[in-house]
Amino acid sequence: MSINKRKIIVQKYGGTSVGTVERIREVARRIQGRKNKVDEIVVVVSAMGKETDRLVSLARELGTASLREQDVLLSSGEQVSVALLSMALLERGVKARSFLSFQLPIVTDERHSAAIIKQINVKNILDSLHEGEIAVVAGFQGITLSGNITTLGRGGSDTTAVALAAALNADFCEIYTDVDGVYTCDPQVYGAARKLRTISYEGMMELAGLGAKVLHNRCVELARKYNVKILVRSSFNNSEGTWVCEEEEEMEGALISGVTYSRGEAKISVLGVPDKPGIASLIFIPLADMGINVDMIIQNIGRNKAADVTFTVPEEELAKALQVVNKVATELGAEGVDYDQNIAKISIVGGGMRSNPGVASKMFQALAREGINIMMISTSEIKISCVIDARYTELAVRILHDAFELGGNSV
Ligand code: ASP
Ligand code: MG
């Protein structure tokens, strides 16, 4: 171990932060300012603005038959932004060099459009840093051992950044995005929302899984595995942002970190199914075979030993799911199939509920006081979710935020 460990940070700038040449210049200015405080900076960038969306729609026009070719196409967005950002740094007199993934390489498996990073060789980055340069690395892309270009899935530049931070043993990874941190709830829904100073990896993973689109889910998983601290912040202001870190380092020690909601699900009920062994598998295996993700499931035993099975699926897969379920329901001799798209899932997330009984009942009471009916409930160690009528979404967020006293002065 060297005595004088040099401080390395990895910074990642998302599409909005590099959306125009002017913004790219602003990012270069920010990097130059940061360079005075740390020894080495490695920067990961996404494609400019909505470039990846534009490329996806070009591919759609041709039917997107080949995921291999789609990856060749989509990875081009990041090639443009690393070159422009390096130019903007050079323009300011800051030494910089761009790297595409094959130039390191960042080796992935063969899964086009959803590739997993297997290995990163950081030698060329270290050489570049040694020359006093800023190494500017293309996010989102990888290369297979057989030389094919891959991409890591939409939003994958976050994952590139955290993987690089792990491989470089960096001090931390700063993710610059268009929000300035992680909030106790959506500030658009409730003005009392407060920016968190810290959130645990687990809490952040739950939030990402529940639809909070701040970070790519795999990036948080990776950060937890390699213990990479992430600072989520905005490239449009200088506020401190939110640290994503180990639970012990979570400063607030609050019972609940946040309230979140998603409206992207629909509920299906299979009514009056004969209550005998194996029925659930007859319903859920065909859904899994179709690649439909089932989230919450409940079963009530009713009269005459018949059961109602209710579950949620992503709303965009409702039609496909109903086809499968109607067929199975007929085969099983069920009484019928019912569905509802106007539902919302409201969740509270927080490590504090592990050691504090009564969190669930507090949530249910708060909803009941406002006459909000709970249709389904699911829990994990650090999360409780309730399905409710979609028209009460905002109200539910506000009352739960108040019930758990999440507001206060922003930090
Ligand atoms: N440019 C890619 C996308 O839009 C990767 C990223 O932004 O993280 O999905
Ligand atoms: Mg992104």
Task: Count, in order, helices (H) and strands (E) of the chain.
Answer: 12, 20
Specify the DSSP class assigned to residue 384: E
Which atom number of ligand 1 is nearest to the Cα of residue 156?
8
Q: Is residue 53 included in any domain, yes or no? A: yes
* Calculated CA dihedral for residues 67, 71, 74, 77, nearest 10 degrees: 180
Q: Is residue 22 included in any domain, yes or no? A: yes
* Residues framing ligand 1 (Cβ under 6 A): 14-15, 46-47, 52, 77, 139-140, 154-158
* Residue to substitute in 46, 152, 173, 176 for testing ligand 1 pocket (most ligand atoms within 8 angstroms of CB): 46
Supply the CATH number for residue 21's domain: 3.40.1160.10
C-alpha distances (whole Å) from 218 to each of 224, 243, 341, 379 are 10, 17, 28, 21
Structural domains in the chain (count): 1
Residue that is written with structure tokens 């200088």 in the block: 238
Q: State the distance from the centre of ligand 1 to the C-alpha of 266, rounded, in angstroms.
A: 27
Per-residue pLDDT of the chain (411 residues; tens, 9 = 90+): 445 567 899 999 999 999 999 999 999 999 999 888 888 999 999 999 999 999 999 999 998 779 999 999 999 999 999 999 999 999 999 999 999 999 999 999 999 999 999 999 999 999 999 999 999 999 999 999 999 999 999 999 999 999 999 999 999 999 998 888 999 998 889 999 999 999 999 999 988 777 667 788 789 999 999 999 999 999 888 888 999 998 877 665 678 999 999 999 999 999 999 887 888 888 999 999 998 989 999 988 776 788 899 999 999 999 999 999 999 999 989 999 999 999 999 999 998 888 888 999 999 999 999 999 999 999 989 999 999 999 999 999 999 999 999 987 543
Q: Is residue 65 included in any domain, yes or no? A: yes
Ligand with smallest separation from the Cα of 154: 1
Rounded to whole angstroms, the Cα distance separating 112 from 114 reads 6
Q: Is residue 243 included in any domain, yes or no? A: no
Q: Is residue 74 included in any domain, yes or no? A: yes
Residue nearest to atom 4 of ligand 1 (CA): 52
Q: Is residue 31 included in any domain, yes or no? A: yes
Which atom number of ligand 1 is nearest to the Cα of residue 160?
8
Q: Under DSSP, is residue 236 helix (H, G, I), strand (E, B) or coil?
A: coil
Q: State the distance from the centre of ligand 2 to the C-alpha of 103, rounded, in angstroms.
A: 23
Distance of CA 21 to the CA centre of its chain: 27
The strand order across the sheet containing 141-143 reads 117-120, 106-108, 141-143, 149-151
Ligand with smallest separation from the Cα of 51: 1
Ligand with smallest separation from the Cα of 214: 2
Residue that is written with structure tokens 């080949």 in the block: 66
Element (H, E) at 387: strand 383-389
Residues 176-191 as b or e (16 or more Cβ within 10 Å = b): bbebbbbbbbbeebbe
Q: How many CA atoms lie within 13 A of 120 on its CB side?
A: 24
Residue 218, both tokens:
């795999």
Q: State the distance from the centre of ligand 1 to the C-alpha of 216, rounded, in angstroms.
A: 10
Rounded to whole angstroms, the Cα distance separating 320 from 330 reads 16
Strand partners, 301: 307
Q: Is residue 19 included in any domain, yes or no? A: yes
Rounded to whole angstroms, the Cα distance separating 292 from 300 reads 23
Q: What is residue 278's predicted lDDT score, i.e. its pLDDT?
A: 83
* Residue to substitute in 78, 117, 140, 151 for testing ligand 1 pocket (most ligand atoms within 8 angstroms of CB): 140
Residue ranges with CB less than 5 Å from ion ligand 2: 14, 155
Q: State the distance from the centre of ligand 2 to the C-alpha of 371, rounded, in angstroms.
A: 38
- Can you give the residue range of the structural domain that contains 163? 8-178
Which atom number of ligand 1 is nearest to the Cα of residue 15?
7
Number of other CB atoms surrounding residue 221 within 10 Å: 16
Q: Is residue 144 included in any domain, yes or no? A: yes
Q: What is residue 63's predicted lDDT score, i.e. its pLDDT?
A: 85
Which atom number of ligand 1 is nearest to the Cα of residue 140?
5
Rounded to whole angstroms, the Cα distance separating 96 from 89 reads 6
Q: State the distance from the centre of ligand 1 to the C-alpha of 37, rounded, in angstroms.
A: 28
Q: State the distance from the centre of ligand 1 to the C-alpha of 381, rounded, in angstroms.
A: 31
Q: What is the pTM of this model?
A: 0.86
Ligand with smallest separation from the Cα of 45: 1
Which atom number of ligand 1 is nearest to the Cα of residue 47?
1
Q: What is residue 1's predicted lDDT score, i.e. its pLDDT?
A: 44
Rounded to whole angstroms, the Cα distance separating 355 from 84 reads 50
The interaxial angle of helices 76-91 and 21-35, nearest 10 deg, is: 60
Residue 184, both tokens:
């106790």
Ligand with smallest separation from the Cα of 176: 2
C-alpha distances (whole Å) from 244 to each of 18, 25, 200, 305 are 23, 28, 6, 49
Quick one: which of 310, 340, 316, 351 has its CA closest to 207? Answer: 351
